[in-house]
Structure 1
Amino acid sequence: MRMTTLRIIPVLLALFLAHAMGGEPRIAILGDSIPYSGQWPALVEAALRQTPAYRHAEIVSMALPSETVSGLSEPGHAGGAFPRPCLHDRLDSILSKYAPTLVIACYGMNDGMMQPFSESGFQAYQQGMERLKKRVEDAGAQFIAITPPPYMADTPEKDAARYNQVLDTYAAWLASRKKDGWKVVDMRPELGRQIREAKKRNARFIYAGDGVHPGQEGHFMIARAIWPPLASILRVPVRVRFPEGDEFRKALERHNLYKLAWLTETGHRRPGIPKG
């Protein structure tokens, strides 16, 4: 334990000094339980670190399970234990304490609460995303929005609420904002293609066993869908190598260590998150 602590201290000191001097980009990844798992964000972090512009950047996920930008929560969420947290309750703390130069945000899966489309819910999502973009840019940071991944991709026949079509609507609106100067990564077409191809190769392939949270291969698919358009926006090389095996495990471990530390530092209202 002592040796581990001694190894970590110089890393933390270096990151603190870079932060204080403003010498390197500082990227915050925001979202819900899917990016909170750390897998696709750790892969995107690894890709960014292979580019000269972001090799020494601070890259931290502060995604939070159950979170929305809409501020909506269905009755009895989590068995009545707590309502869905809203990003806007903690965004000021993230922007002031972490001071990102770039915010990458992926919301939508929770915002419609897995219920049929409603105009009021759609408007709450739109207003939440617009508010997020404005607050990020007012803080002097760049903002990139990512569309939500699919719902019930393995069993669309069980999607009685047609919720994946709700997410299609949310994603189409986000993509349409490009004409207004928004920077948007639409993962859905390419991710859908990868899922279909995987099922052709192996009829037993499952993207997300519960209809929401992808398995590890699903996270690799998300990273492969996100990276090319993200690299284009950031004007960095598209050709990178995602870590695999033990290299990926170590990258994920480090990524999640910093995630929990910054979630604790910036604060949130979601029960059940380990302290960092």
Structure 2
Amino acid sequence: MMLCCAGAGMRLHAQPLNKGRIAILGDSIAYAGHWANEVENTLRDDKKFAACEIVNFAVPSETVAGLSEYGHAGGRFPRPCLHERLSRILKMYQPQLILACYGMNDGLMQAFDKARFQAYQEGNIRLKKAADAAKAEIVFITPPLFRGDSAEQAEYDAVLDKYAEWLVSKRKDGWKVIDIRPGLRKLIAREKAGNPGFRYSGDGVHPGPEGHHMIAREVLTGLVPEIGLAPEVAEKDHRPTPDTMKKHEKVRNEWLVKTGHARPEIPGYDPEMAKRQFPRTVSVWNGFLREEFTV
């Protein structure tokens, strides 16, 4: 993708794709498909992106940091790591553009810890280097809100604020970053003002359909300057329909099977890949950070 600049002092942005492949990376919130499908539908309504192939590669429970808490998923499996499968996605799918949204799982739903924060930073830096080596533009998206319905900020949401602040700080190094968190807070507050019974997320983590729509709105707003998405197209309502979701999930599952991954219970799981991942389980022992791993 070529870069262009319009006028002195204007921000650099990517020249829009006429053809090519777009990959969406993320965890269970992206895997659910609602905000990802709305972004896909919107891109397809812009003639500059209409011919693009768009695939959701998100995997539930996944982190970019490569960490997992003790007893995750009731002890059935540790959290998978993006980097176990990233090279296969880049080689087999060959995306020209990547939209990556991680962070919700990377802090392990625990209090802030420097070691976990460093692992998150290193994981994203590794992702950026891999994308650069594959000549793929990458747009990072900050993690959604944790317990976004709470009037008082949850402790873990404050952790995610730190993760988001670090991502945003990487703009100074030329990273493309969309910060969805401030806008999400405003949208939720506005909705609750008119509808006190509104719930962004029933379990505190996974948004409902309207919450996904809010995420999509913030992502699309950020894609206008970052990839040249037409503002008038971004402002239209392109919510998922049963037909678009069915196609979105079909293509997602086909590519997850092609590229494989280490996360049980969804299409594409390969136990051999899980063995090669060497996942780290992180817990606290007598006040010290403990890592357990299997070789």
Say whether the fold is shared (TM-score over 0.5).
yes
Distance 2:61 2:86 in 1: 15
| Unaligned ranges ≥5, structure 2 | 1-16, 270-295
Residue 137 of structure 1 and its aligned partner are, at CA, apart by 1.0
Distance 2:170 2:263 in 1: 30
Q: Counting helix residues as a fraction of each chain, which structure ranks higher? A: 1
Residue 179 (str. 1) matches residue 172 (str. 2): yes
What residue in structure 2 maps to residue 229 of structure 1?
222
> Structure 2 vs 1, CA of residues 179 and 98 (structure 1 numbering), >3 Å: closer, same or farther?
same
Residue 157 of structure 1 and its aligned partner are, at CA, apart by 5.1
Match of 1:149, as an amino acid? Answer: P
Deviation string for 1:194-239 (max 9, x for gaps)? Answer: 0011111111100000000000000001111110111211112122
Q: TM-score, normalised by structure 1?
A: 0.88
What residue in structure 2 maps to residue 268 of structure 1?
261
Identity, % of aligned positions: 51
Question: In structure 1, the residue corresponding to 2:48 is in which secondary structure?
Answer: helix
Deviation string for 1:86-133 (max 9, x for gaps)? Answer: 000000000001110111100000000100000001000000000001
Deviation string for 1:237-264 (max 9, x for gaps)? Answer: 12222334xx622111111110000001
Residue 38 (str. 1) matches residue 33 (str. 2): yes
Among 98, 113, 129, the residue aligned to 2:108: 113
Q: Counting strand residues as a fraction of each chain, which structure ranks higher? A: 2
Residue 164 (str. 1) matches residue 157 (str. 2): yes
User: Contact 2:18–2:48 (CA<8 Å) still a contact in 1?
Assistant: no
Question: In structure 2, the residue corresponding to 1:175 is in which secondary structure?
Answer: helix
What residue in structure 2 maps to residue 7 of structure 1?
none
Deviation string for 1:37-91 (max 9, x for gaps)? Answer: 0000000001111112210100000000000000000000000000000000000
Distance 1:156 1:63 in 2: 30
Among 89, 92, 100, the residue aligned to 2:95: 100
User: Contact 1:46–1:242 (CA<8 Å) still a contact in 2?
Assistant: no
Distance 2:95 2:40 in 1: 15
Distance 2:63 2:19 in 1: 29
What residue in structure 2 maps to residue 3 of structure 1?
none
> Structure 2 vs 1, CA of residues 232 and 158 (structure 1 numbering), >3 Å: closer, same or farther?
closer
Match of 1:167, as an amino acid? Answer: L
Correspondences of 1:61-210 after superposition (within 5 Å) = 61-155=56-150, 159=154, 162-210=155-203
Distance 2:258 2:46 in 1: 28
Residue 272 of structure 1 and its aligned partner are, at CA, apart by 0.5
Distance 1:266 1:203 in 2: 44
Question: In structure 1, the residue corresponding to 2:257 is in which secondary structure?
Answer: helix
User: Contact 1:232–1:238 (CA<8 Å) still a contact in 2?
Assistant: no
What residue in structure 1 maps to residue 286 of structure 2?
none
What is the CA RMSD across the aligned residues, in angstroms?
A: 1.6
Match of 1:228, as an amino acid? Answer: T
Residue 251 (str. 1) matches residue 250 (str. 2): no
User: Contact 2:102–2:143 (CA<8 Å) still a contact in 1?
Assistant: yes
Residue 47 (str. 1) matches residue 42 (str. 2): yes
